[in-house]
Amino acid sequence: MSKRQIAALAAVVLVPVVVLVIVLISIGSSDDGGGGTTTESNAPSGSSSPSQPGDSGSQAAGAGSAGGDKRSATVPDVTLPVLSGGSGPLAKKVAPATSGKKLDLGNLRGTPVVVNLWSSWCQPCRSGIRVAQAASQTFAERGVLFLGFAVQDKPADALRFQKSVGITYPTAQDPSGDAARRLGATGLPATFFISRDGQIVGQVRGPASLGQIELGAVAAKDGSPLGTRQGGIQVPLR
| Amino acid letter, residue 46 | G
pLDDT for the residue 95: 77
pLDDT for the residue 94: 78
CA angle 48, 54, 59 (to 5 degrees): 75
Q: pTM score > 0.85 for this model?
A: no
The values of phi and psi at residue 224, to 5°, are -100, 135
For the chain, domain boundaries: 1-30, 66-236
Among 206, 208, 227, 71, CA closest to 136: 208
- Which fold is adopted by the domain 66-236? Glutaredoxin (3.40.30)
* 49 CB burial (10 A radius; 0-12, 13-18, 19+): exposed
pLDDT for the residue 69: 52
* 181 CB burial (10 A radius; 0-12, 13-18, 19+): middle
Q: Could you tell me the mean pLDDT of each successive run of 10 residues in the chain, 238 residues long?
A: 50 44 42 40 36 31 41 81 83 74 87 96 93 93 94 96 91 95 96 96 97 97 95 95
pLDDT for the residue 131: 94
Q: Are 98 and 170 in contact (CB under 8 A)?
A: yes
Among 230, 199, 200, CA closest to 212: 230
Q: How many CB atoms lie within 10 A of CB 134?
A: 12
For 44, the enclosing helix (H) or strand (E) is none
